Amino acid sequence: MKTIFIKTLILVAISFSAIAQKTPTRVLIIGLDGFSAEGFKTAKHPNLDKLFADGVLSLTTRPVMPSVTLPNWTSHLTGSGPEEHGITSNDWTLAKHPLTSIATDQEGYYPSIFKVLKEKVPNVKTAYYYNWKELINPINQKYLDEVSFEEKDDYRANYAKANDFLVKNQKNPTLVFLYSVHTDHAGHGFGWMSDPYIKAIEEADTAIGALLDKLKAEGLYKGTHFLLITDHGGINKGHGGVSMNEMQVPWAITGPQIKKMGLITEPNSNKNTSLVLTKLFGVKDIPDFWTGALLKGIFK
């Protein structure tokens, strides 16, 4: 009888282990444009603080140069710098650009994390939510299952759509990119570190908190990896230069595979984000021409 009981316990343990192993990887990227390290240190953001308390936070991550929007978000999502992906300014289009990228897919786009996941991770679902129209220009949309653009700097509808997408696809590996430009526009309109700029960060934190509450209610919070990323800081009412105000940004991550390390000072770059994502999804065969580095020490 005792032997049967022990065998039963073993079978139950194996069953729970199998269920755990089948839990799909789920990642939500929260992107706030123009969010400087200075802004992070000054603004109040209790929801971000609570979210990343069990993970990793860098306040010395370096943007790629030039410290402008499109080159940097492309670097986040392609594991490479402008010298490789060829996006050197905000007016880049597939039809017109001065620098040819070192590699392209069949449609002429530099291979992104979305392409890699679609080709390497069975049944993966991908979504892209944004409110600055040029942002998606370097991304081949055929590797995205859902795309939503919100006008006039609004972002709340996209936050709701991101939640719905995660709920709908909770049984699949999922990557959601959720971006807002309103923080950057507050910097341009009123100045980096101005009261309206700080308020824009704090408003974003409130919206993030509401989204996290929804995920908790759906039972999706604990199993999700969260990343906080941005493109550049700013000085006065602009950016694009090499001042430390522009060239230091926050980068944070938390989730089941991530250690609790708090503030780290290891060198980090916007080019590293996609390498971290491939690690989370268990992808080992990454493009040879990606030049980012994997932050190996942050993983359990």
What sections of the chain are H helices per DSSP? 2-22, 37-42, 46-51, 69-78, 82-85, 113-120, 156-168, 182-190, 195-217, 273-280
Looking at every residue in the chain, the average pLDDT score rounds to 94
Query: Residue 158 in contact with residue 130, Cβ under 8 Å?
Result: yes
Residue 221, in any domain of the structure? yes
Q: Give domain status of residue 18, yes or no.
A: no
pLDDT digits (tens, 9 = 90+) for 190-214: 999 999 999 999 999 999 999 999 9
Residue 7 lies in a domain: no
Percent share of the chain, pLDDT over 90? 92
Residue 271 lies in a domain: yes
Closest CA relative to residue 23, chosen from 127, 218, 221, 172: 172
Q: What is the mean pLDDT of residues 141-163?
A: 97
CA 106 to chain centre: 25
DSSP string of 235-251, one letter each residue: BTTB--S-STTTS-EEE
Is 262 contained in some domain? yes
How many CA atoms within 13 Å lie on the side-chain side of 193?
12
Beta-carbon count within 10 A of 92 CB: 21
Residue 288 lies in a domain: yes
Residue 261: pLDDT over 60? yes
pLDDT of 28 higher than 50: yes
What's the per-residue H, E or C state across 142-159? HHCCEEEECCCCCCHHHH
End-to-end CA, the chain: 39
Q: Do the Cβ atoms of 249 and 36 come closer than 8 Å?
A: yes
What confidence score (pLDDT) does residue 104 get? 97
- Model pLDDT, residue 14: 39
Query: What is the span of the domain harbouring residue 93?
Result: 26-298
- Is the pLDDT assigned to residue 15 strictly greater than 60? no
Bridge-based pairing of strands 174-180 and 26-32 is: parallel
pLDDT of residue 203: 98
Q: pLDDT over 70 for what percent of the chain?
A: 93
Query: Quick check: is 227 in a domain?
Result: yes
Q: What is the pLDDT of residue 11?
A: 44
Tell me how many domains the chain contains.
1
Q: What is the pLDDT of residue 19?
A: 41
Name the more confident of 296 and 4. Answer: 296
22 against 250, higher pLDDT: 250
- Please state, in angstroms and rounded to a whole number, the distance separating the CA atoms of residues 64 and 19: 41
Q: How confident is the model at residue 12 (pLDDT cuts 50, 70, 90)?
A: very low
Q: Which one-letter DSSP state was computed for residue 95?
A: S
pLDDT at residue 23, as a whole number:
84
Q: Which pairing describes strands 146-149 and 249-254: parallel, antiparallel, or unpaired?
A: unpaired
pLDDT at 109: 98
| Amino acid identity for residue 43 in this structure | A
Write the pLDDT tens digit of every residue in 126-141. Answer: 999 999 999 999 999 9
Does residue 19 sit within a domain?
no
Q: For residue 103, what pLDDT is reported?
A: 98
Task: Judge whether residue 39 has pLDDT over 80.
Answer: yes
Average pLDDT over residues 18-41: 87
Structure tokens at 199: 């308020």
